[in-house]
Structure 1
């Protein structure tokens, strides 16, 4: 008998760029949990669900799996639009660990968030730029869905207290290439004489934005803060296109901590030299399964009502070290990185106080 987890990961669309490394990290996590006795005596099995499909389609697939008793839990990296489509159909029937960096505010029963929210990553990053580089005039460009739009609203509400100005925004199509939208955004950044741009774009969309930004020459005049431009995005762009690109994350493949280095070693041993590049979204998939295992073991139950009772204060260990839940959201380290060619140089631990 097994405990089956639906791993909702994009294998198509903009986020499909993260899919191979996310899948590889999840496979390692399942192997390690099973080697450690599984969940309440049951081995974990993974069932892949393409989270790159239209959100209502993902929700329909997962609803059918729950109805037919094919899955016992949900985890994996996917965008907030998919999460918002899933939560009503899950409706507390199975535990759901959501590991993506997101817009914050998720508090529904049975949903356990291990990813960073704007208070964790955007606030301290902007404070760092303001204090260290004097970056005060910001533009925001993002994919047109809930994470960028709600994060933009969050940023506008806090700009004055941060001592910055948000002078404009541009939202571009998420599901289809939108070079015209990117061009409009670049022109507005130039016209507004911005010091920096926050780019809230996913996967291949981030790649296309960075290419256009590189062609524009704006990297000679302003910096980019791109929270989901991960190692896979860097590999898809040239060093010139990656110039003055910063990102913020709880994990980097170049992070030099004991837990992060140990994770890299285990990952390479498990998958070999040809494994997909590690990144924040990939690491989050391993962490979603590690969190699920810890919550089930601490609750001594796989039922949502029992996990809800123990989640506040629950702890687990992953590549980012020992993490703790506060409510249904983990408290975590956050680091600022700057691109150096095709990898990130970790500049600072900027966790908000």
Structure 2
């Protein structure tokens, strides 16, 4: 359809002259549609972020095999953020200014997202960000594909209190914005459920000596640990927890970050019996997920490759972007922003939808209990996707939105 319209325009305007503007539009339409994939290929975060980059490239290859986007093949320009926010900003600038891409899929941490955000907002380009995060952001230049706190905590805390029968929470996290914001939301939910939090403790990112903290947990009287610990520290924490004789039956660790990646790294025996709240687990028993795992493993040439929540979102975000362009009939940031509102997709883990108001994504909350084989058993699942509320920690509700298509209403904060 697009090529035919361009062809008729060419004939009408130039009588078939090859140098006419219509002909140039045909030439451009045949060119690849370039997008960025901005993930760490080197540095401490590269092990995980290379997986996200592969998921984006897998989705692009599948779309290309099916005919591309508006008849154009996708060309993915991979840039290395090098596990450093400053480098992320430099590479984002290259992609948006030098390479002139309208859309970048990328970043994995809030630090890298915050570093690149001014570039996307100044240059009016679009960032698709696949990782669950702490909320408290409302940008017209970002599509947020991961969970926000109400997806991970609004069902989780009441479930811990009512189903596990736990009343005394020891909150522990890594010392940066995500764990602290998650703790803020958790405290209000804990108190609303008639329970209490007996401690709220933090250790620096990458901290590996957990003996003192685990002793604090043992002496605190807590009957459950709410863990917002991230990265390599997760491995050290869980190992020390078990080594000091703490039982997941008596004092379970209920996490918001621990995924299949960390379970495999620490050894499944250290996490068996603990819990995590995520929209996606590799164990979700759907034909769409089983097929996704098989295709991903073939793409990366690893028959034992692991999938996890951010990887799934890195994959399905490309399809939502494609649908947005096809709806708008244009590849500009303004067109993508409007085209992506309300887009739905049957992702490997289940249906997702981009919210019309805040450009965050409706996902389905799940609670998984880690098993001895390193996979999770889904012990609680919502029946359908839930509206994202990025400011739920500050009183935002579905009836009283802070972040809308018009922007952030700061008077409500």
Pair in the same fold by TM > 0.5? yes
TM-fit CA distance, 1:205: 2.5
TM-fit CA distance, 1:197: 1.6
Contact in 1 for aligned 2:38/2:81 (Cα 8 Å)? yes
Instruction: Report the TM-score, using the length of structure 1 for normalisation.
Output: 0.90
Structure 2 SS opposite 1:154: helix
TM-fit CA distance, 1:12: 5.0
- Deviation per CA, 1:112-165: give whole Å up to 9, x if none: 111111101112011111111112211222222221121112222333113222
Contact in 2 for aligned 1:17/1:204 (Cα 8 Å)? no
Q: Which residue of 1 aligns with 2:260?
A: 231
TM-fit CA distance, 1:78: 0.2
Structure 1 residue 208 corresponds to structure 2 residue 236: yes
Q: In 2, distance between residues paired with 1:332 and 1:203?
A: 23
Residue of structure 2 aligned with 1:188, choices 216, 235, 247: 216
Structure 1 residue 49 corresponds to structure 2 residue 79: yes
Residue of structure 2 aligned with 1:286, choices 294, 315, 333: 315
| Unaligned 5+ runs, structure 2 | 1-30, 388-413
Aligned residue runs from structure 1 range 115-134, under 5 A: 115-134=146-165
Q: In 2, distance between residues paired with 1:81 and 1:157?
A: 26
Residue of structure 1 aligned with 2:366, choices 298, 322, 335: 335
Q: Which residue of 1 aligns with 2:225?
A: 197
- Deviation per CA, 1:44-87: give whole Å up to 9, x if none: 22233344522122112211322212533111350112111111
Structure of higher RCO (CA pairs closer than 8 Å, 6+ residues apart): 1
Q: Which residue of 2 aligns with 1:4?
A: 34
Residue of structure 1 aligned with 2:377, choices 315, 320, 345: 345
Structure 1 residue 241 corresponds to structure 2 residue 273: no
Bigger mean CA offset, 94-103 vs 266-275: 266-275
Structure 1 residue 89 corresponds to structure 2 residue 119: yes
Residues 108 and 204 of structure 1: is their aligned pair in 2 closer, same or farther, counting only changes over 3 Å? same
Residues 271 and 85 of structure 1: is their aligned pair in 2 closer, same or farther, counting only changes over 3 Å? closer
Instruction: Report the TM-score, using the length of structure 2 for normalisation.
Output: 0.78
- Deviation per CA, 1:175-199: give whole Å up to 9, x if none: xx3234x344323222212122222
Residue of structure 2 aligned with 1:138, choices 154, 165, 169: 169
Residues 42 and 106 of structure 1: is their aligned pair in 2 closer, same or farther, counting only changes over 3 Å? farther
Q: In 2, distance between residues paired with 1:142 and 1:41?
A: 47
Bigger radius of gyration among the two: 2
TM-fit CA distance, 1:272: 4.3
TM-fit CA distance, 1:109: 0.8
Residues 51 and 171 of structure 1: is their aligned pair in 2 closer, same or farther, counting only changes over 3 Å? farther
Give the total of aligned pairs: 350
Q: In 1, distance between residues paired with 2:320 and 2:381?
A: 23
Q: In 2, distance between residues paired with 1:23 and 1:305?
A: 25
Aligned residue runs from structure 1 range 35-184, under 5 A: 35-51=65-81, 53-69=83-99, 71-76=101-106, 78-91=108-121, 93-174=124-205, 177-180=206-209, 182-184=210-212
Structure 1 SS opposite 2:269: coil
Residues 158 and 322 of structure 1: is their aligned pair in 2 closer, same or farther, counting only changes over 3 Å? closer
Structure 1 residue 25 corresponds to structure 2 residue 55: yes
